Structure 1
């Protein structure tokens, strides 16, 4: 799995109004592409064609999904993380899980923790996130400004989680993440402001889809991952399938 790190100036983001294209909802374009591409690949379309213009790194997980009788998928969310840096030193990490539906992004969790050293991940400057990777830069600028400010942070609605995940333990885990994040949001925002970051790095990690069987029932979770090339190219891989216990 390759991580994505994007460099940008927080001070500049806070000093001027955000450009029209800078929105956390930019991540919804990824959710839509992933859901449509996965469904097309499950229906028999060649993965390279299903996810175009993205490339496919590894589609080995498709076989396990088909063998399990999975015929469709719904985008659950993706890990989207911000690393705050001050004077060249990594000082604070924000971890989020972003859900997207109908062009809108909401969060299952937002967590923060102080850092005392750099993570071992791949760095991508903001300027390299062009073309298909540009939504990541737009969302990064918007999320950093949102958390440093006092505007409303959208969390996923409990009814949406219930409709996505029928397996009670998994659903309760998601609801607990929302509750904990709401309770800790003021502290996270205070930490972001106190960090006074002059750079923000962004990391995209695992992607999760809810796997559906022919009866329209949610049967488990399909794990996917993204990789970003130096020129902004996006590659997706389809990995593990984890059925819900019966």
Structure 2
């Protein structure tokens, strides 16, 4: 696996907490960090669950570290978290924001034993990323798409063009296998999102094979909804979802 050359940023640390025998695997998104998912992770801990929130390889340090990673590195970061939970829990749920949602769908395609998944502005097709010319090394940041004043996402100030190629491959792979997702699914989508087109969530809802699926509109948040005005609604819906299927 790719080596990182920079220290982990304060606030970007992994989160592991032992609770009951229900496990929750939580994933942040592309160029982001665990900071974006920490309020949800802490709410799950407070509810008594065993929580694992990995830092995706190449994230939460420096964008030059991210440039050296592949989407398989990000998949491996999640798989390691899943295995940690498997050793401690009887059942596992997964939640992810943005590319974290992509990775959540990927896990549901691989692990039929997942009890349920929660997708928050999940990404399967971002046309703006598909159109980028690879004649530059870094682009300006895509982070902190937040409606709530004074709230900042801890994310990279630059986006490696090579990494955009990696997320495009991951999204394509996941998009082509949506019919393999059969687990109960909660989809939360912002009505206004300047990073991932909201249509992504509708497409996921329509194409997955899950019999139990629910789509919830977030009317007062942008892309990083977990840090935005609808944070409490996301936490409430997620806790109710896990309680209903546990």
More strand by share: 1
The structure having more radius of gyration, on CA atoms, is 1
Same fold, TM-score > 0.5, yes or no: no
Larger relative contact order (Cα-Cα within 8 Å, sequence gap ≥ 6): 1
Q: TM-score, normalised by structure 2?
A: 0.31
- TM-score normalised according to structure 1 size: 0.31
